C-alpha cells in the first residue's frame, strides 16, 4: 500500500482520514513516525492559541469603528472603474504578465504541430503526471498522481514576482507598450477580461 | 463586550417603511450599497474582532494590526459592489485581510509585541490560573519562538497555517479565501507544519 500523501497526513492528524488509510498508518513505521511528528508540531503551534493575540482595551473597538466611519465618510461605494484604483500601481506588472501569457499563447497557436504533453516525474515514486495544454490537471488526476501535483502546486504557490525578477525574468516598460500595440481587437478584449478576472479573484 | 442590535428604517416604496432589526450580512450589504452608510457600522461591529485577530497574527503588534483592520474595512467599503454573496461576508473580509496583511509583511518586517507587553496583558489570566511566574515566562518564550518561526514561513503556508490553527477555519473556507483547491490547502498546511518543525528544532 502506498504511503500517505500530504493531504492524507493532515486528515490523519485531524482525525478525518478513512479507516483503510488509517490502518495503513498503524502498520507502516515510516508513515507513523511522520504522522507523530506532524501531531507534535501541531500541539506546539497550538500552545500559542490563547496568548497569541492580546485582547485590546474595550474602548478600542468603538474607537476602531469611529476611525473606519470617519475614513469612509467621503468615500463612494463603487462607481465607474472605482475598483481599479487600489490596483492601479500594479497595473504595469499585471499587464506585463498577461501580455507574456498572450504572446506565449499566440506562439503556441501558430505552431503547426500539436504541443507535446508535459511529463513530470515524481522523484522516488516512479509515477508521472501528463498534462495537455489547457487541461484541468487537478480535476483529472488519479489519486496516485494527486500527491505529485499537490507538491508542485504547493511549491509554485509562493513564487513571488521579486523572485522571478531575481532570476532574470523581467519586462521593460517600452516592451509592454510595443506588445500592447501589436494586439488585435480579440486579444485586447481577452486582456481586459483576464485583468478583470484577476482583480475580482484578488478580492480588491 | 455588549452586543448591539443594528436597525434602521428602509423606504422600500413610496409611503411604505420597513424597519430591519438584527439584519443578516446580506441585508447589511444591500443597505450599504443602497446608500445607507449606518449599515456599514453594523458590518464593522460584527466582523472587526475576527479581522483584527487575523491581522494581528500576521504583524504581531497592536498598532499595525489596528491600522490593517481599518484598511481592510475601508477597502471592503470601496469594493462592496463586487461582493456577490457567493461566499460568506466573513470569508470575503478574511480574503481582503489576508491580502492586506501579506502586502504589509512583505514591505515591512514583523514588529512583534515585546514579551513584557504580552506578560502585562496576561497578568490577570496568570493570577487566575494560579500559574507561576516562571511557568508564564517559559510559556511566552515558547509562544514567541512559534510566532517567530511562523513569520519565516512562505506567505501562502503562513496564511494557511494561521487560518487553520488559530482561526480554526475549515479547509474549504480557507480554499475560498486563498483562491486554492482544498487539496492544495491541505498540502500547504502539511508543508507549513513540516517547515515549522524544522524552524523550531
Give the closest of B40, B45, B117 to A72, CB-based. B40
* Residue range B73-100: mean pLDDT, rounded: 92
Band of the pLDDT at B124, cuts 50, 70, 90?
very low
Q: Which domains does chain B have, with CATH numbers?
A: 1-111 (1.10.1740.10), 113-201 (1.10.10.10)
Chain A, residues 133-152, CB within 8 A of chain B, namely 138, 146, 149-151
Record the pTM: 0.62
What are the tens digits of pLDDT across the range B30-82? 999 998 989 999 999 999 999 999 999 999 899 999 999 999 999 999 999 88
Tens digit of pLDDT for each residue in A148-169?
A: 666 655 655 555 555 555 555 5
Does the structure's ipTM exceed the value 0.85? Answer: no
Beta bridge mates, A164: none
H-state helical runs in A3-79 = 6-13, 19-27, 29-46, 58-72
Neighbouring residues of A91: CB distance < 8 A, sequence distance ≥ 6: A84
Reported as a single tens digit per residue, the pLDDT across B140-192 is: 788 888 988 999 999 999 999 999 999 999 999 999 999 999 999 999 999 99
Closest to B86 (Cα-Cα) out of B171, B25, B38, B20: B25
Least confidently predicted of A50-54, A129-133, B45-49, B53-57? A129-133
- CB of B114 within 8 Å of a chain A CB? The answer is no
Output the pLDDT for position A149.
61
| Nearest-CB residue to A37 (from B92, B96, B197) | B197
Q: Does B195 touch chain A (CB under 8 A)?
A: no
Query: What is the per-residue pLDDT for B133?
Result: 76
Give one DSSP letter per residue of A92-121, joined into a string: HHHHHHHHHHHHHHHHHHH-SSPPPPEEEE
Cell numbers placing A152: 508542485
Amino acid at each position: 500500500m502506498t504511503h500517505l500523501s500530504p493531504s492524507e497526513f493532515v486528515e490523519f492528524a485531524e482525525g478525518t482520514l478513512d479507516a483503510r488509510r488509517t490502518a495503513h498508518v498503524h502498520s507502516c513505521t515510516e508513515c507513523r513516525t511522520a504522522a507523530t511528528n506532524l501531531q507534535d508540531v501541531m500541539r506546539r503551534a497550538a500552545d500559542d492559541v490563547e496568548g497569541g493575540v492580546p485582547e485590546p482595551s474595550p474602548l478600542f473597538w468603538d474607537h476602531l469603528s469611529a476611525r473606519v466611519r470617519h475614513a469612509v465618510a467621503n468615500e463612494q461605494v463603487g462607481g465607474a472603474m472605482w475598483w481599479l484604483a487600489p490596483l492601479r500601481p500594479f497595473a504595469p506588472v499585471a499587464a506585463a504578465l498577461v501580455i507574456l501569457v498572450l504572446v506565449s499563447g499566440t506562439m503556441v497557436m501558430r505552431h503547426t504541430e500539436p504541443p507535446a504533453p508535459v511529463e513530470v516525474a515524481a522523484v522516488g515514486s516512479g509515477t508521472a503526471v501528463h498534462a495537455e495544454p489547457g487541461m484541468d490537471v487537478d480535476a483529472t488526476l488519479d489519486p496516485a498522481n494527486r500527491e505529485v501535483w499537490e507538491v508542485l502546486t504547493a511549491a509554485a504557490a509562493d513564487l513571488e514576482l521579486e523572485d522571478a525578477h531575481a532570476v532574470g525574468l523581467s519586462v521593460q516598460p517600452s516592451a509592454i507598450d510595443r506588445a500592447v500595440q501589436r494586439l488585435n481587437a480579440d486579444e485586447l478584449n481577452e486582456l481586459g477580461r483576464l485583468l478583470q478576472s484577476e482583480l475580482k479573484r484578488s478580492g480588491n | 463586550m455588549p452586543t448591539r442590535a443594528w436597525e434602521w428604517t428602509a423606504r422600500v416604496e413610496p409611503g411604505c417603511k420597513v424597519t430591519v432589526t438584527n439584519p443578516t450580512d446580506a441585508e447589511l450589504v444591500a443597505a450599504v450599497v443602497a446608500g445607507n452608510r449606518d449599515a456599514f457600522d453594523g458590518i464593522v461591529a460584527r466582523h472587526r474582532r475576527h479581522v483584527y485577530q487575523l491581522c494581528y497574527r500576521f504583524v504581531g503588534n497592536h498598532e499595525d494590526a489596528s491600522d490593517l483592520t481599518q484598511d481592510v474595512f475601508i477597502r471592503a467599503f470601496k469594493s462592496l459592489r463586487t461582493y456577490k454573496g457567493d461566499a460568506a461576508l466573513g470569508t470575503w473580509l478574511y480574503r481582503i485581510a489576508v491580502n492586506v496583511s501579506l502586502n504589509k509583511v512583505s514591505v515591512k518586517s514583523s514588529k512583534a509585541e515585546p514579551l513584557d507587553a504580552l506578560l502585562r496583558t496576561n497578568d490577570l489570566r496568570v493570577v487566575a490560573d494560579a500559574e507561576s511566574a516562571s511557568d508564564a515566562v517559559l510559556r511566552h518564550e515558547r509562544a514567541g519562538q512559534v510566532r517567530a518561526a511562523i513569520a519565516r514561513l512562505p506567505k501562502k503556508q503562513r496564511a494557511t497555517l494561521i487560518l487553520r490553527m488559530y482561526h480554526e477555519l475549515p479547509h474549504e473556507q480557507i480554499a475560498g479565501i486563498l483562491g486554492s483547491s482544498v487539496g492544495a490547502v491541505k498540502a500547504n498546511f502539511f508543508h507549513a507544519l513540516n517547515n515549522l518543525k524544522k524552524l523550531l528544532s
